[in-house]
């Protein structure tokens, strides 16, 4: 088998932990597998480097920022290769430009275009454990690029796809994907399997186990993805293609995102191009918009447009939207902070009516008022007052039969 | 003019100092020059990274060690480019593999083979200040290499040679090359000019202003080399080709190296190949041998062989030399710690008899016993008891008319 393993910053946090990762990689190698290991920077290092750049420049050029922050992974690949060699294993480190992970030139948020597997294959043939720097690539001009927060997950999955790996194992500090955040709901249950689609919704909805782009990549190339803990021997969660058994489960998980602000623009003229104008302006200002809901137009050909942004962007958004509101002849702009988004996710809900109704009933029974509703094929999201977020998660977790039955380990 | 500037770790030590370097580089750019800046890692950073590798591995593979330690300069090129941009200048950072500084594969101590000036020329044509990572290169296989301690000096001089620069300015925390270490002799005087040959001897004799290889490079390619302080506007010292005026000065500087151990192997058979055997074995054991002196053979075709090594290598050397001494049928091995080497250097002494005699007389007058004497065309070195080192330097400094006459600047 060819296995790609990825270890995050916590797993690489100090020399002892790096030795632990070396031992795990060697176990797989000794079991006869070809092993490629992708690593993140030591925990805290990327932030330390970003702080340095922000001390020098108020708005650092992202090309140069990438030069600086990509050193975090350069240090850990070297250290892990050394740790493996110290345990009598063969190993060789690879930077993005040495593998040749070619990306576009969107510095700080680049996308992988192609991966050359020649050098890695040569290393594997020599029975080396190939240690690859996550998060980084190189563009056509030879400049160093980075893939955005959590980008090492994407590096791992992309390598697994390029090498047609039998498994991609993402090691983290939790032992798998849970039905919901265990810190909120102590009856949260670890999932043995979850579909790519569900994982995608869970990832995008605030479950920070995997970078969303890595899940998209895994889905596209059908890479079997394992989420495991680097500190236990738990088999973890397999993220894979949907199967029949999954469809029998209505809801696989519950995600929650807090600290959002909700905006409503009243009486927006219902004309083509208006939405593009509003959200184009927000995008230009680097404001990430989450839920967008537009109600059907009234008889006066006017509509209400609602959306959410992160709390930190509230002020910037308010100013911008007021200005645009005037330009497009809309009515008043309302906004409200302290909003949470609670979502239920499951491929099973596709074939079952009534899941939405049940969700709304559960929230109503708990006296939780729903501000905005948004749905996709396998997800229903409700914006609610943030103070009810935990209550809502716990009630939904029980109502959709996600509670663990056995007592909690540990 | 095309100017290559190099700033050391102290000059790049924190964000304020990096801004200072940015201002200096911009001054040269605004004066109409093309500017290439070579930087070292922030002071202390290379040691921090080496400590990390030594925590992971007792004898780290030098390939992987180079991957880790080269990140120090990667951080500073990014930060300096940002600092220049923040001051409204145009700038772009270059790593060893982006310039293309091709080296051999002697990791941790690589030598530059060739420099491709295409990318730097393109950057200069765009009126950018090109900021290049010192100390690092890349080998034929695409592995990162480093050039050894002080390697950034060599990067700067090699770039100056490749670009046919009009000047290479080495900025450091002292304002030039001194007649001797000012911490030892407060009448030490800054030299306005010094020849490559003299600088070579001074560098190799423990004056740590410039890496010796950078001086060799500068001499070979006739690069006009300035040693300057990044904290003052002093013109510094020009290292250049020997001229008539220099020959009128008998002695340009006095160097001192301490903490050496002296070995003598008695009654060594005077046969071809014996010296190679002794010093080959020491080289294989990574022991750096300094002065080597062999006296003419006695009537019994036997000779005494003396040499010095660093104090830290004393024990290892003793064991090795005893073993080899037996093998080659030599007599007993003596050794002595606490030895200093005091040397006078000057292109002028080439044409003047009596300099050596005068040096010996000065030392004799101070009651300093000379253990070993070694000379080159422009240098005379005496090994003496370490406790007399400072006394010897000061006495020689006065005797060879090097003392400054004006009072020391504040």
3-state secondary structure of B405: coil
Summarize pLDDT for A20-30 with one digit per residue, the tens.
999 999 999 99
Is there a contact between A362 and A396 (Cβ–Cβ < 8 Å)?
yes
* H or E stretch at B293: strand B289-294
Predicted pLDDT of residue A288: 85
- Whose tokens are 């489960």? That residue is A249
> Using 50, 70 and 90 to split pLDDT, how confident is the model at A157?
very high
How does the average pLDDT of chain B come out, rounded?
92
Joined together, the tokens standing for residue A31 give: 């079991």
Chain B residue whose CA is closest to A15: B56
Q: What is the ipTM of this complex?
A: 0.82
Of residues B19, B56, B64, nearest to A15 (C-beta): B56
Average pLDDT, integer, range B368-396: 92
Give the torsion sign (CA, A74, A76, A79, A84). Answer: negative
Joined together, the tokens standing for residue A150 give: 């959590």
A140 interfaces chain B, CB cutoff of 8 Å? no
CA nearest to A130, candidates A19, A40, A35, A31: A35
Average pLDDT, integer, range A152-172: 96
- Number of Cβ pairs closer than 8 Å across A and B? 107
Predicted pLDDT of residue B241: 93
Is there a contact between A56 and B19 (Cβ–Cβ < 8 Å)?
yes
Of residues A19, A60, A75, nearest to B49 (C-beta): A75
Where do you find CATH 3.40.1160.10 in chain B?
Answer: 2-173
B83 interfaces chain A, CB cutoff of 8 Å? yes
Q: Does domain A254-399 fall into CATH 2.40.400.10?
A: no
How does the average pLDDT of chain A come out, rounded?
92
Average pLDDT, integer, range B201-210: 74
> Using 50, 70 and 90 to split pLDDT, how confident is the model at B408?
very low
A375 interfaces chain B, CB cutoff of 8 Å? no
Q: For residue B4, what is the DSSP state?
A: E
Q: Do B75 and A18 touch (CB under 8 A)?
A: no
Does the pLDDT at position B409 exceed 80?
Answer: no
Q: To probe the interface with B, which of A42, A78, A105, A139 has the most B CB atoms within 10 Å?
A: A78
Predicted pLDDT of residue A207: 62
Q: Do B83 and A144 touch (CB under 8 A)?
A: no
A381 interfaces chain B, CB cutoff of 8 Å? no
Q: Which residues of A touch B65 (CB under 8 A)?
A: 78, 82
Distance between CA atoms of residues A1 and A65, nearest Å: 38
The 10 Å Cβ neighbour count of residue A334 is 12
Q: Which residues of B touch A60 (CB under 8 A)?
A: 82
Of residues B64, B77, B81, nearest to A81 (C-beta): B64
| B146 min Cα distance to partner chain A (Å) | 14
A19-42 residues labelled b (16+ CB within 10 A) or e (exposed): bbbbebbbebbeeebbbbbbbbbb
Summarize pLDDT for A47-101 with one digit per residue, the tens.
999 999 999 999 999 999 999 999 999 999 999 999 999 999 999 999 999 999 9
Does the pLDDT at position A35 exceed 60?
Answer: yes
Predicted pLDDT of residue B236: 93
> Using 50, 70 and 90 to split pLDDT, how confident is the model at A206?
low
A68 interfaces chain B, CB cutoff of 8 Å? yes
- Residue A367 buriedness (CB in 10 A; 0-12 / 13-18 / 19+): exposed
A189-193, Cβ contacts within 8 angstroms, sequence gap of 24 or more: A189/A402, A189/A403, A189/A404, A190/A234, A190/A237, A191/A237, A191/A252, A191/A253, A192/A235, A192/A237, A192/A238, A193/A237, A193/A238, A193/A239, A193/A240, A193/A243, A193/A245, A193/A246
Distance between CA atoms of residues B343 and B381, nearest Å: 4
Predicted pLDDT of residue B274: 85
Distance between CA atoms of residues A242 and B39, nearest Å: 53
Distance between CA atoms of residues B156 and A180, nearest Å: 56
A210 interfaces chain B, CB cutoff of 8 Å? no
Strand partners, B6: B38, B170
Average pLDDT, integer, range B372-388: 91
Q: Which residues of A touch B19 (CB under 8 A)?
A: 56
Summarize pLDDT for B22-33 with one digit per residue, the tens.
999 999 999 999
> Using 50, 70 and 90 to split pLDDT, how confident is the model at B213?
confident
Chain B residue whose CA is closest to A75: B68
**Among A residues 239-298, those touching chain B with beta carbons less than 8 Å apart:** none
Q: Which residues of B touch A98 (CB under 8 A)?
A: 142-143
Average pLDDT, integer, range B156-173: 95
| B322 min Cα distance to partner chain A (Å) | 32
Q: Do A57 and B85 touch (CB under 8 A)?
A: yes
B234 vs A352, more confident: B234
Predicted pLDDT of residue A409: 47
A286-299 residues labelled b (16+ CB within 10 A) or e (exposed): ebebbbebeeeeee
Q: To probe the interface with A, which of B19, B67, B100, B131 has the most A CB atoms within 10 Å?
A: B67
Chain A residue whose CA is closest to B17: A56
Q: Do B67 and A74 touch (CB under 8 A)?
A: yes
**Among B residues 34-53, those touching chain A with beta carbons less than 8 Å apart:** 49, 52-53
Q: Do A61 and B85 touch (CB under 8 A)?
A: yes
Joined together, the tokens standing for residue B273 give: 């190949």
Q: Do B79 and A71 touch (CB under 8 A)?
A: no
Q: Do A82 and B64 touch (CB under 8 A)?
A: yes
Q: Which residues of A touch B98 (CB under 8 A)?
A: 142-143
| % chain A with pLDDT above 90 | 71
The 10 Å Cβ neighbour count of residue A377 is 9
One of 3.40.190.10, 3.40.1160.10, 1.10.1740.10, 3.30.505.10 is the CATH number of A2-173, namely: 3.40.1160.10
| % chain A with pLDDT above 70 | 98
| B79 min Cα distance to partner chain A (Å) | 6
Q: Return the axis-axis angle of helices A71-86 and A45-56, rounded to nearest 10°.
A: 150
Q: Which residues of A touch B61 (CB under 8 A)?
A: 81-82, 85
- Residue A323 buriedness (CB in 10 A; 0-12 / 13-18 / 19+): exposed
B98 interfaces chain A, CB cutoff of 8 Å? yes
Chain B residue whose CA is closest to A13: B52
Strand partners, B193: B238
Distance between CA atoms of residues A291 and A311, nearest Å: 14
Where do you find CATH 3.30.2130.10 in chain B?
Answer: 254-399
Of residues B57, B85, B95, nearest to A85 (C-beta): B57
Q: To probe the interface with A, which of B63, B69, B79, B146 has the most A CB atoms within 10 Å?
A: B79
Q: To probe the interface with A, which of B82, B87, B145, B146 has the most A CB atoms within 10 Å?
A: B82
């Amino acid at each position: 088998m060819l296995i790609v393993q990825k270890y995050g910053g916590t797993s690489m946090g100090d020399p002892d932990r790096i030795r632990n990762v070396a031992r795990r990689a060697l176990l797989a190698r000794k079991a006869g597998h070809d092993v490629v290991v992708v690593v993140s920077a030591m925990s805290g290092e990327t932030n330390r480097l970003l702080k340095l750049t922000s001390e020098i420049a108020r708005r650092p050029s992202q090309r140069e920022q990438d030069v600086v922050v990509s050193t975090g992974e350069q240090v850990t690949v070297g250290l892990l290769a050394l740790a493996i060699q110290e345990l009598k294993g063969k190993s060789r480190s690879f930077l993005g430009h040495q593998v040749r992970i070619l990306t576009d030139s969107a510095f700080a948020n680049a996308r992988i275009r192609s991966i050359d597997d020649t050098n890695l294959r040569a290393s594997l043939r020599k029975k080396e454990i190939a240690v690859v720097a996550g998060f980084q690539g190189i563009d056509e001009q030879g400049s160093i690029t980075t893939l955005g927060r959590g980008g090492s997950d994407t590096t791992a999955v992309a390598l697994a796809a390029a090498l047609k790996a039998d498994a991609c194992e993402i090691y983290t500090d939790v032992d798998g994907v849970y039905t919901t955040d265990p810190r909120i709901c102590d009856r949260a249950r670890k999932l043995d399997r979850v579909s790519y689609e569900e994982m995608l919704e869970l990832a995008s909805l605030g479950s920070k186990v995997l970078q969303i782009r890595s899940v998209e990549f895994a889905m596209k190339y059908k890479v079997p993805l394992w989420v495991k803990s680097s500190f236990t021997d738990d088999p973890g969660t397999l993220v894979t293609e949907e199967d029949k058994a999954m469809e029998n489960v209505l809801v696989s998980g519950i995600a929650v995102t807090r600290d959002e602000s909700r905006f409503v623009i009243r009486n927006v003229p219902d004309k083509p191009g208006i939405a593009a104008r509003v959200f184009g302006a927000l995008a230009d200002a680097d404001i990430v918009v989450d839920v967008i809901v537009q109600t059907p137009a009234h008889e006066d050909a006017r509509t209400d447009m609602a959306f959410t942004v992160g709390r930190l962007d509230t002020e910037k958004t308010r100013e911008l939207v007021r200005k645009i509101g005037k330009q497009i002849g809309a009515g008043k702009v309302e906004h409200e902070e302290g909003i949470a988004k609670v979502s239920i996710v499951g491929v099973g809900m596709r074939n079952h009516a009534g899941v939405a109704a049940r969700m709304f009933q559960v929230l109503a029974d708990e006296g939780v008022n729903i501000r905005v509703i948004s749905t996709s094929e396998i997800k229903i999201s409700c914006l609610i007052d943030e103070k009810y977020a935990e209550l809502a998660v716990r009630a939904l977790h029980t109502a959709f039969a996600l509670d663990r039955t056995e007592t909690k380990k540990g």
